[in-house]
Amino acid sequence: MTPEFPRGPRDRSFIKRFVVIALIVSVTGALLAAVLTSGRDPIVLLNIFTIRFLGIFIEAAPFLLLGAFASGLIDAFVRPDDIARLMPKNPVLATFAGAGLGFFFPVCECGVVPVVRRLYGKGLPMSVGVAFLLAAPVINPIVLVATYVAYGFGPVLIGRFVLTFAVAVAVGLVFMAAARPRDVLRPTSLSRLSLAAPRGGMDSATPADVVAVAKVAPPRRTLKDGFRSAVFTAIDDFFDMGRYLVIGTVLAATMQTFISQETLTQLGSGPIGSVLVLQLVAFVLSVCSTVDAFISLAFVNTFTPGAIIAFLVFGPMVDIKALLMYSGVFRLRVVLYLFLLPMLLVMLAAIWINLNIPL
């Protein structure tokens, strides 16, 4: 009888590497098969892919840079006791406040991830971070103006902001009700949290973290030291999250190369089908929330108002590259939840709008 040995960290690391290599080989094989069976010139496909990749990456990278810099500034100048002081003590109210934080941290969906990770490190409750993560790409002044310019003051503008706020708060409340940091965050993110809150009680509910970190607030930095530290932190964060952005962009560009927008838009119409299709389009397109209102104008005469609102709400919350970036902060199953819950909530609201509100 062969004795069983407990699996150590080396074994797990080997398995992980094996899985990653297997995934890369599988994806590469699938791509090659797709290219060879598509009947199109591989050079043309490569050109399309390159254009799409650069289009998404160049659009997103500056926002990631801004987000990373905001993250650096938070790391340097925001102390855990600031978060504790400014956040409402009532966790429900705090979640609502989290959904409105975008007006103070106006970042795109690429930039919000490092900011949230940094804020978690400063003791931000899970539910507030999730609400901020989902709402900030839309609930901010830049996107407000862009949407106003594209649609004017009307149902689309109102629907986008109200629904985004409601979905972000709803998902945040789900996290508030049951999520503990160890259920939610990746070990690397968790370790930052531990440093910030040595007595925070990681097993307890999230409000405890805030109370605990307030007691261990470090001294404030000088302006010069703070900026220097912020720059270094921003560089670290940019490259740390940048790899997820690159992988996410590769996936999004690949999807766009093989599945054209026209094909997707032909898939469905009507009050239900149009919502599903535009949610899928938003997920695949992975465009930044600052420009998606203008892109969505092309759908106005083809799709229902509910579907347009779904596109404008769901896309900034969850798309391919955002999911990849989420996976740098959250556990994989939580990334799945961050996809599933907004998708279902937006779908419900958009279908209800289509079937019940004449717009």
Partner 1 sequence: MTFAERITRLSKFDRVVGIVSLGLVGLILLTVLLGDRVGVLVYRAGPLGEGARSTSRILMEFSEPMQRDSVEPLFSTEPELEGSVSWSGNTFVFQPSQPIPPGTDIRVSLARGAVAQSGRVVLSEYRFDFSVRVPRVAFLYPANGTPQNIWVADTANPGNATQLTFSPSGIYDFAVSPDGSQIVFAENNSNNGTRDLKLLTLETGALEQITNCLDASCNTPVWRPDGAQIAYERVELNSDLAEQGIGSSPTRIWTLDLTSRPVQTRPLFSDLQLLGHSPQYSANGERIAMYDTGMGAILINDLTDGSLTAIPTRSGTSGALSPDGTRLAYTEIVLADNAGAYSYLRLANLDNNDVTNISDPPQEIDDQRAVWRPDGRVMAIARRDQSINRGYQIYILDPLTQEIQQITTDNRYTNMFFAYDPTGRYLAVHRFPELDEFGQPNMNGLPEIWMLDTETLQMTMLAENGFLPRWMP
Residues 318-337 that bind partner 1 (CB under 8 A): 333, 337
H or E, element range at 170: helix 155-178
Distance CA 135, CA 300 (A): 23
Using rule CB under 8 A, residue 304 touches partner 1 = yes
User: To the nearest whole angstrom, how small is the minimum distance from the Cβ of residue 15 to partner 1?
Assistant: 20
Using rule CB under 8 A, residue 177 touches partner 1 = yes
Residues 282-301 that bind partner 1 (CB under 8 A): 301
The single residue among 148, 227, 269, 291 that binds partner 1, judged by CB under 8 A, is 269
Distance CA 149, CA 294 (A): 9
User: To the nearest whole angstrom, how small is the minimum distance from the Cβ of residue 326 to partner 1?
Assistant: 15
User: To the nearest whole angstrom, how small is the minimum distance from the Cβ of residue 210 to partner 1?
Assistant: 19
Using rule CB under 8 A, residue 2 touches partner 1 = no
User: To the nearest whole angstrom, how small is the minimum distance from the Cβ of residue 357 to partner 1?
Assistant: 7
User: Taking contact as CB under 8 A, which single stretch among the options 11-19, 103-111, 196-204, 343-351 is the one that binds partner 1?
Assistant: 343-351
The single residue among 178, 223, 267, 298 that binds partner 1, judged by CB under 8 A, is 178
User: Taking contact as CB under 8 A, which single stretch among the options 73-81, 93-101, 224-232, 271-279 is the one that binds partner 1?
Assistant: 271-279
314 touches 279 (CB < 8 A): yes
Q: Residues 143-176, buried b or exposed e (16+ Cβ, 10 A)?
A: bbebbeebbeeebbbebbbebbbbbbbbbbbbbb
User: For residue 184, which of 93, 103, 117, 242 has the smallest C-alpha distance?
Assistant: 117
Using rule CB under 8 A, residue 263 touches partner 1 = no
Distance CA 137, CA 146 (A): 12
User: Taking contact as CB under 8 A, which single stretch among the options 102-110, 147-155, 283-291, 344-352 is the one that binds partner 1?
Assistant: 344-352
User: To the nearest whole angstrom, how small is the minimum distance from the Cβ of residue 178 to partner 1?
Assistant: 4
| Count of chain residues binding partner 1 (CB under 8 A) | 35
Query: Which is nearer to partner 1, 24 or 344 (by Cβ)?
Result: 344
Spell out the SS3 assignment of 63-131.
HHHHHHHHHHHHHHHCCHHHHHHHCCCCHHHHHHHHHCHHHCCCCCHHHHHHHHHHHHHCCCCHHHHHH
Distance CA 73, CA 71 (A): 5
Using rule CB under 8 A, residue 344 touches partner 1 = yes
Using rule CB under 8 A, residue 206 touches partner 1 = no
User: For residue 120, which of 107, 131, 129, 130 has the smallest C-alpha distance?
Assistant: 129
Query: Which is nearer to partner 1, 180 or 192 (by Cβ)?
Result: 180
Using rule CB under 8 A, residue 345 touches partner 1 = yes
CA angle 265, 267, 272 (to 5 degrees): 95
Helices (H) and strands (E) in the chain, counts: 18, 0
The single residue among 180, 192, 221, 228 that binds partner 1, judged by CB under 8 A, is 180
User: Taking contact as CB under 8 A, which single stretch among the options 28-36, 158-166, 269-277, 321-329 is the one that binds partner 1?
Assistant: 269-277
Residue type for position 90? N
User: For residue 66, which of 131, 6, 136, 13 has the smallest C-alpha distance?
Assistant: 136
User: To the nearest whole angstrom, how small is the minimum distance from the Cβ of residue 154 to partner 1?
Assistant: 13
Residues 157-176 that bind partner 1 (CB under 8 A): 174-175
Using rule CB under 8 A, residue 34 touches partner 1 = no
Query: Which is nearer to partner 1, 43 or 203 (by Cβ)?
Result: 203
* Full DSSP string of 171-221: HHHHHHHH--HHHHB-HHHHHHHHHH-TTS-TTS-THHHHHHHHTTPPPPP
**Residue ranges that bind partner 1, judged by CB under 8 A:** 174-175, 177-180, 183-184, 269-274, 301-305, 333, 337, 340-341, 344-345, 347-348, 351-352, 354-359
